[in-house]
């Protein structure tokens, strides 16, 4: 049922006048065509991009191999040859390619970001995802046909902020920060001049997007400008005599792991620290956002796109998580009255969650 439904949807993907970034469409019982939520998935390399498309992503977001994007890990991201191949692979299958230019340039590096906008337009990207006003302004003036999505790094949490970015920079979509309750998202959907995208699954961060200071405090390299928290050159792993492993960031001990204990990429916010007489995750436990149970409400309030976090993750993660969300969205679109979270979806997502834990995060908080 899901595959047949998806094939039918692929045949009639069209651009919406209200969102030049593109929403999906699906047929109803008559000739009416209704929008269905778009699934936007990550890719840090060409195999991951193909895996996302094959698993049912409607759009894939990627980054150049430089500091214009917020996942500038060594060995990650795309050169131009790979991006052209990726764009062709997506477009031949009726899917979209978005390019993230979502870090913050200083005045000395603005020319590099402008060149990145030019490259995105030349590659035939379906949209750029940007936060810095100067980058959005340049894209609007120089490539008005290239849709502009406001990045989560822009931290737009009010209708006034969304209106300003729409009127001033002509954004076609905005990605909401992961700090809002479901009621706040609902109010923004009702008042926003542009379609809204929200995060559905993946890593959480205790900092407001685009405003992280923890890593820059320890390393002196701002993730907001250099594109990565915990730059690899500052990370040092140490094998301990008792079989444990210790990880240091710029000489600061971040965590110790028991023999065989899974260890994620070390960041300050998710380290374990000695506070008083206790060692624990003093700032944030490793856990992943998972909004699967909120899917019906997110659809009903008018969210246009769901975003999966994880350009730094591998092919297995991208394929499994995309497949679960594709199945859930298709199942709801086909039969909303009888929809429920399938155990297989829950199991697949839990297997790829940080610390094998999931949370609804701020979506379920009682205070606004």
Q: Is residue 221 part of a domain?
A: no
Q: Is residue 104 part of a domain?
A: yes
Residue 349: its pLDDT value, please?
Answer: 94
Confidence of residue 366 (pLDDT cuts 50, 70, 90): low
Domain that holds residue 244: 229-280
138 and 94, same domain (yes or no): yes
pLDDT higher at 120 or 364? 120
Q: Is residue 216 part of a domain?
A: no
Q: Is residue 211 part of a domain?
A: no
Q: Is residue 91 part of a domain?
A: yes
259 and 300, same domain (yes or no): no
92 and 236, same domain (yes or no): no
128 and 235, same domain (yes or no): no
Out of 240, 262, 280, pick the residue that ends a domain: 280
155 and 243, same domain (yes or no): no
Total structural domains within the chain: 2
Confidence of residue 210 (pLDDT cuts 50, 70, 90): low
275 and 296, same domain (yes or no): no
Confidence of residue 321 (pLDDT cuts 50, 70, 90): very high
Work out the percent of the chain whose per-residue pLDDT is above 90. Answer: 67
Q: CATH code at 311? A: 3.20.20.70
Residue 82: its pLDDT value, please?
Answer: 96
Res. 303: pLDDT tops 90: yes
38 and 166, same domain (yes or no): yes
DSSP 202-256: EE--SSPTT---HHHHHHS--HHHHS-SS-GGGEEEEE-TTS-EEEEETTEEEEE
Q: What is the CA radius of gyration of the chain?
A: 20
Distance CA 62, CA 42 (A): 6
247 and 340, same domain (yes or no): no
Work out the percent of the chain whose per-residue pLDDT is above 70. Answer: 88
Residues ≥6 apart with Cβ < 8 Å to 117: 101, 128, 130, 135, 138, 139, 142, 143, 146
Residues ≥6 apart with Cβ < 8 Å to 143: 117, 118, 121
Q: Is residue 220 part of a domain?
A: no
248 and 343, same domain (yes or no): no
Among 14, 89, 105, 31, CA closest to 57: 89
Residue 368: its pLDDT value, please?
Answer: 57
Residue 367: its pLDDT value, please?
Answer: 59
- pLDDT tens column, 214-267: 888 899 888 888 888 888 899 999 999 998 999 999 999 999 999 888 887 888
272 and 312, same domain (yes or no): no
Res. 354: pLDDT tops 90: no
Residue 22: its pLDDT value, please?
Answer: 46
- pLDDT tens column, 22-74: 445 443 334 344 457 999 999 999 999 999 999 999 999 999 999 999 998 88
Q: Is residue 196 part of a domain?
A: yes
Residue 49: its pLDDT value, please?
Answer: 98
CA 251 from centre of chain: 30
147 and 248, same domain (yes or no): no
275 and 295, same domain (yes or no): no
Confidence of residue 21 (pLDDT cuts 50, 70, 90): very low
What's the mean pLDDT in 291-312?
96
DSSP 311-364: TTS-HHHHHHHHHHHHHHHHHHHH-GGG----HHHHHHHHHTSGGG-EE-GGGG
CA distances from 19 to 22, 148, 254, 268, 300 (A): 6, 10, 43, 38, 18
Out of 262, 280, 298, pick the residue that ends a domain: 280
Q: Is residue 170 part of a domain?
A: yes
Residue 12: its pLDDT value, please?
Answer: 30
């Amino acid at each position: 049922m899901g595959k047949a439904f998806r094939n039918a949807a692929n045949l009639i993907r069209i651009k919406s006048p209200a969102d030049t970034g593109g929403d999906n469409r699906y047929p109803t019982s008559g000739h009416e065509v209704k929008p269905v939520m778009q699934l936007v998935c990550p890719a840090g390399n060409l195999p991951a991009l193909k895996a996302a498309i094959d698993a049912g992503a409607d759009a894939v977001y990627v980054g150049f191999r430089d500091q214009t994007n917020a996942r500038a890990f060594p060995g990650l991201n795309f050169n131009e040859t790979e991006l052209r191949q990726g764009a062709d692979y997506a477009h031949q299958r009726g899917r979209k390619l978005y390019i993230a230019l979502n870090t913050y340039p200083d005045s000395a590096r603005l020319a590099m970001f402008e060149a990145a906008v030019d490259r995105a337009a030349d590659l035939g990207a379906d949209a750029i995802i940007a936060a810095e006003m100067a980058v959005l302004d340049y894209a609007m003036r120089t490539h008005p046909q290239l849709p502009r999505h406001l990045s989560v790094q822009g931290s737009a949490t009010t209708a006034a902020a969304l209106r300003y970015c729409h009127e001033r920079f002509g954004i076609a979509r905005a990605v909401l920060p992961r700090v809002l309750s479901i009621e706040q998202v609902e109010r923004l959907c009702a008042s926003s001049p542009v379609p809204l995208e929200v995060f559905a699954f993946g890593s959480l961060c205790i900092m407001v997007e685009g405003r992280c200071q923890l890593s820059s405090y320890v390393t002196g390299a701002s993730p907001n400008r250099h594109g990565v928290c915990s730059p690899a050159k500052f990370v040092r792993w140490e094998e301990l005599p008792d079989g444990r492993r210790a990880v240091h960031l710029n000489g600061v001990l971040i965590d110790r792991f028991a023999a065989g204990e899974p260890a994620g990429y070390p960041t300050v916010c998710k380290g374990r620290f000695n506070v008083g007489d206790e060692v624990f995750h003093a700032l944030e436990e490793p856990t992943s956002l998972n909004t699967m149970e909120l899917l019906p409400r997110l659809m009903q309030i008018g969210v246009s796109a769901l975003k999966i976090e994880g350009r730094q993750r591998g092919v297995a993660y991208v394929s499994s998580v995309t497949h679960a969300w594709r199945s859930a969205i298709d199942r709801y679109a086909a039969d909303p009255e009888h929809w429920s979270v399938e155990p297989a979806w829950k199991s697949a997502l839990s297997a790829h969650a940080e610390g094998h834990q999931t949370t609804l995060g701020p979506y379920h908080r009682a205070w606004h």
